[in-house]
Each structure stands twice: as structure tokens, then as C-alpha cells.
């Protein structure tokens, strides 16, 4: 049987790019059958760009402050992404609200990681808001991007306990660690065709996923393929 060819991916970032790094590492280790064709940032000089360059991945900066409307920025971004003909667009700490046009264009082939157990704490400052709300559990979610902000159907989540002495920093560290586990996993499933979205519904192995997969319920030593 012939080996599956790597799925072309474009990753969008705004900053540190540690999730990008986790995905690069999973490609290198063979856990993701994908190839990152380009990394695009809306901010110049961010560390994520350096990470990509170190691995020989083409990078582009499209500075959103140079556009006088969200529509114009998104139109340019869409055009730049399409140059690489990706079959998957991965938002990895991309801190921009996207227009409906853009989202419709990539719907079903765009994933995002969000630092909360969705539907809790959509939007920003999720760790502080989790602390303020006094929740027992916090975590992160990978979801398909739809026009509802942080509201697309969730594929996988990872949960951590919130401890009495937690602050934003400690929560960030533990949640990001979980992100680096579940995002590469979800990307690998997408690349091998195991997950899809149709009419706002996630399908895993062609069956509707009735609720998000919880990372801690996966078999030990789960492999990405």
C-alpha cells in the first residue's frame, strides 16, 4: 500500500509559537502526516517566526495595523494563505477575530486551540476568569473554527484541576502543557482524515462525535495515527 502524502498546512500565529513548535515536533517524529508550507504572523518579530525559520519553514508577516479595516486584512491574509494551497489552516495563538467571509472560505479546514474548557470562557483572559469564577477544573480545547467566536464544535479537550494556590502563571504553564499534547493529536487526526466537520458536526472515523473527546479518557500511550 502506498504511503499517505503529507497534508499541506499553513499555521497562523501572533506570538511565542509554542503550539507551532509542538506541531513541528510531531511532524518530525512522524506522528503528524503533514507539512507546514508556511507560518504567517500578524505581528513582526515574534518568537514563533524564529521557530519556523529554524526549521526552514517559509514565514510571512502581514501586519494588521497596516490595514484600515478587518475585511481588508482578512482578504489579504486569505490570498497569502491560498498561495500555499493548504488543506488545513491551523490557528496557533493567532489573536485576531476573523471575518465571516474568511471563516466561510476555510470552514471545515481550519482548527483553533483555545485555553479553556469550552464553552466556558470564550474570548480573552481565560485563566484569570477561571480563577475569578472559582472553578474546580480548567483546561484547553481544540475546535473547528466557525463564525461563532470560540464556538465551533470541539474535537478534544484536556482538563486540569485548579489548585488553591494557583495563579494565572501556574495555570498558564499547566494548560499550555496540555495544549502541546492535544493540538498535535487533533492535527494528526485531521491529516489522516479521521476527523471532519460537516454542518457544524464533528465526525470521527465517519461517526458523529456526540461530545468532545477528553484527553484523560484516551488509552494510555495513545498514538497520533
Question: For binding to ligand GAR (CB under 6 A), which residues are involved?
Answer: 13, 15-19, 48, 92-93, 113-115, 140, 176, 179
Phi-psi region of 150 (alpha: psi -120 to 50; beta: other; left: phi over 0): left
- For ligand GAR, which is the closer residue by CB, 34 or 115? 115
- For ligand GAR, which is the closer residue by CB, 173 or 198? 173
- For ligand GAR, which is the closer residue by CB, 168 or 220? 168
The nearest distance, CB 183 to ligand GAR, in angstroms, is: 8
114 is catalytic: yes
- For ligand GAR, which is the closer residue by CB, 61 or 203? 61
Distinct helix (H) and strand (E) counts, the chain: 6, 11
DSSP state of 107: T
Residue 160's Cβ-count burial label (10 Å; 0-12, 13-18, 19+) is middle
User: What H or E segment, with its residue span, contains residue 39?
Assistant: strand 34-41
Catalytic residue chosen out of the listed positions 28, 105, 114, 143? 114
Residue nearest to ligand GAR (CB): 93
Q: Which of 18, 33, 48, 12 is nearest to 178 (CA)?
A: 18
CA angle 162-165-167, nearest 5°?
75
- Asked if residue 29 lies in contact with residue 38, where contact means CB atoms within 8 angstroms, the answer is no
The nearest distance, CB 80 to ligand GAR, in angstroms, is: 19
By annotation, the residues acting in catalysis are 114
Amino acid at each position: 500500500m502506498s504511503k499517505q502524502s503529507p497534508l499541506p498546512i499553513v499555521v497562523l500565529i501572533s506570538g511565542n509559537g509554542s503550539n507551532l513548535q509542538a506541531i513541528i515536533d510531531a511532524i518530525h517524529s512522524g506522528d503528524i502526516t503533514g507539512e507546514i508550507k508556511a507560518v504567517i504572523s500578524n505581528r513582526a518579530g515574534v518568537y514563533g517566526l524564529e521557530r519556523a525559520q529554524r526549521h526552514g519553514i517559509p514565514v510571512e508577516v502581514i501586519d494588521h495595523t497596516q490595514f484600515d479595516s478587518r475585511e481588508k486584512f482578512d482578504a489579504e491574509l486569505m490570498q497569502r494563505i491560498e498561495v500555499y494551497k493548504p488543506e488545513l489552516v491551523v490557528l496557533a495563538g493567532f489573536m485576531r477575530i476573523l471575518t465571516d467571509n474568511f471563516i466561510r472560505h476555510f470552514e471545515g479546514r481550519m482548527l483553533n486551540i483555545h485555553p479553556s474548557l469550552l464553552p466556558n470562557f470564550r474570548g480573552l483572559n481565560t485563566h484569570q476568569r477561571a480563577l475569578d469564577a472559582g472553578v474546580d477544573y480548567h483546561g484547553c480545547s481544540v475546535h473547528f473554527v466557525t463564525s461563532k467566536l470560540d464556538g465551533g464544535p470541539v474535537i478534544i479537550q484536556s482538563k486540569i484541576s485548579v489548585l488553591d494556590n494557583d495563579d494565572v502563571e501556574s495555570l498558564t504553564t499547566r494548560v499550555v502543557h496540555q495544549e502541546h499534547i492535544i493540538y498535535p493529536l487533533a492535527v494528526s487526526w485531521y491529516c489522516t482524515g479521521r476527523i471532519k466537520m460537516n454542518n457544524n458536526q464533528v465526525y470521527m472515523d465517519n461517526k458523529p462525535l456526540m461530545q468532545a473527546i477528553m484527553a484523560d479518557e484516551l488509552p494510555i500511550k495513545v498514538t497520533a495515527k
